[in-house]
Structure 1
Amino acid sequence: MAFGDRFPDVTAIAVGVSSTVNGTVEEFDREAAAVYEVLRDCRETGRTALYFSTASAGMYGAPDSPGTEEGPVFPQTIYGRHKLAIEAAIAVSGVDWLVLRLSHLVGDWQPPHQLLPFLVSMVKSGEVTVFRNSHRDLVDVRHAVEVIDTLLTNNVRRTIVNMASGVPEPIERIVRGIESRLGVEPNWKVVDRPSDTTVVSTEKMRQLVPAANNFGFGPRYLDDLLDRYVGPSADKRIDGPTPEVVRTRS
């Protein structure tokens, strides 16, 4: 059943800046204007606004940020600051709302610029640029859908919930996992950078969605994701064009 059929009183706001690294002022303005328009419509019609924010290092990367929804947040990038500002506008909009701070989703039919298809295409190109000390929290889109369904069904409103695995994976491990499943050994160029290990709290999500305790988050979760979406039995729908540089989400 489609989202709109299950939750006809909810408007999901999935607009966003296409690049988390190179977003322009015009793109940020365009997203804000679209969100404000939806909020005005929700206020007039009594609908609930569901907004997809970020749980990336851009939001939670500060050393004194605990990675919790209610804790202090000091975004480290323009992208993170923009998302936090949108969240604040939603909270005072006068509508019912729910904000999900998402980590990196993995699933079928992803656009080529998103993390996993981007890394897959880079590995296939034979040349890989890896930023040492980079970490990424990956979540199967199927689990994200289950979390959203449960939260909306249980009428969870006017709150922020992290949607993450809580396990930041080294980018080197992700790339090596892709290589082993594709049977490819590309040339590596390693670029040193400061560590961006960000541990996102999943406590609130697990409390509100008990089924999340059975998603398998932990040491094997990355392997399960790569087996499903990159392994020999995977449908190669995540293929993307060969990249020129690595654009990791910050």
Structure 2
Amino acid sequence: MTMEIVGRGFLARNLRPIADRHPRTVVLAAGVSCAHGTSAHDFAREADLLRETADRCRATGSRLVFFSTAATGMYGGVAGLGREDGAVVPCTPYGAHKFGLERRLRESGAEHLILRLGHLVGARAPAHQLVPALLRQLARGVVRVERGAARDLIDVTDTVTVVDRLLERGVHGETVNVVSGHAVPVSDIVDHLEERLGLSARREYYGEGRQYGVSVEKLTRLVPETALLGFSPTYYRQVLDACLDPLRCPAALPAAS
């Protein structure tokens, strides 16, 4: 018996190599993944899927892993570092949706593990995610940057490593931030991509992004091996470099259109 992965997208594909290691586990890697999503229909569909999956896990005694968010939608309104046991006031419809689903899962009676993820980066990531979107804009010569916006990037392979360790240790009934702990200004991310690709794009600034920080205290306690992953203020560079590696991601830079 192997781990059941609900979903066929970016994260689900990356989790498949560890499926044989975790029987009696169901991973819900489906649902709303776009932080800008506001569709009531999509939110309701994910809520229904979570309820149905939690009911099934409760009946079979399986552990359910649910992926929430540690992005600005969850922690952008928090003073100081966002902590799993701290007060949270979601500041986007997406953040409020995920926060609400966390509560429903805790109340469901199913054995569970809630993981609040940072911004995943890796090969074949969805087009709407930050790095693919920036790469397309760089190819076209104009990049739109939200003033003051920052993002905590984490390599999807490092995310899978963390998930693997948490499941291996039988962690359940917990909410854990799975992030690097270093939110980087989007302008710095664009700088590094330009340098690596030898490009220079005009920047169009808009809006006013939120500054935020996320605590990794609980993560490092539960998974001390994160010390080997290179989490630091410059970690984002190795994440971007890996994404641009032609051996790992041969189509990293899309053609302009």
Q: TM-score, normalised by structure 2?
A: 0.88
Aligned residue for 2:250? 236
- Judged with a 3 Å threshold, the aligned counterparts in structure 2 of structure 1 residues 129 and 54 are, in CA distance, closer, same or farther, namely same
| Superposed CA offset, 1:38-82 (max 9, x none) | 011111111110000000010011144640001111111111111
- Judged with a 3 Å threshold, the aligned counterparts in structure 2 of structure 1 residues 128 and 208 are, in CA distance, closer, same or farther, namely same
Report the Cα offset of residue 107 of structure 1.
1.1
The 8 Å contact of residues 112 and 238 in structure 1, kept in 2 or not, is answered as: no
Structure 1: state its 5+ residue gaps. Answer: 244-250
Structural mapping, 1:78-117, within 5 Å = 78-117=93-132
Matched position secondary structure for 1:128: strand
In the alignment, which of 217, 226, 243 is matched to residue 231 of structure 2?
217
How many residues in Structure 1 have an aligned counterpart in Structure 2?
Answer: 242
Matched position secondary structure for 1:2: helix
Q: State yes or no: 1:174 paired with 2:189.
A: yes
Higher alpha-carbon deviation: 222-231 or 40-49: 222-231
Structure 2: state its 5+ residue gaps. Answer: 1-15
Report the Cα offset of residue 234 of structure 1.
5.4
Aligned residue for 1:28? 43
The 8 Å contact of residues 121 and 154 in structure 2, kept in 1 or not, is answered as: yes
The 8 Å contact of residues 98 and 157 in structure 1, kept in 2 or not, is answered as: yes
Higher alpha-carbon deviation: 183-192 or 37-46: 183-192
Q: Distance in 2 between matches of 1:218 and 1:189?
A: 28
| Superposed CA offset, 1:107-144 (max 9, x none) | 11211111111111111111111111000000011211
Report the Cα offset of residue 231 of structure 1.
5.2
2:231 maps to a residue whose letter is: F
Aligned-residue RMSD, C-alpha: 1.8
Q: TM-score, normalised by structure 1?
A: 0.91
1:226 maps to a residue whose letter is: L
Q: Which has the higher contact order (CA 8 A, sep 6+)?
A: 1
Matched position secondary structure for 2:30: coil
Report the Cα offset of residue 191 of structure 1.
1.8
Higher alpha-carbon deviation: 87-96 or 63-72: 63-72
Q: Distance in 2 between matches of 1:42 and 1:201?
A: 30
Q: Give aligned-pair identity as a percent.
A: 38
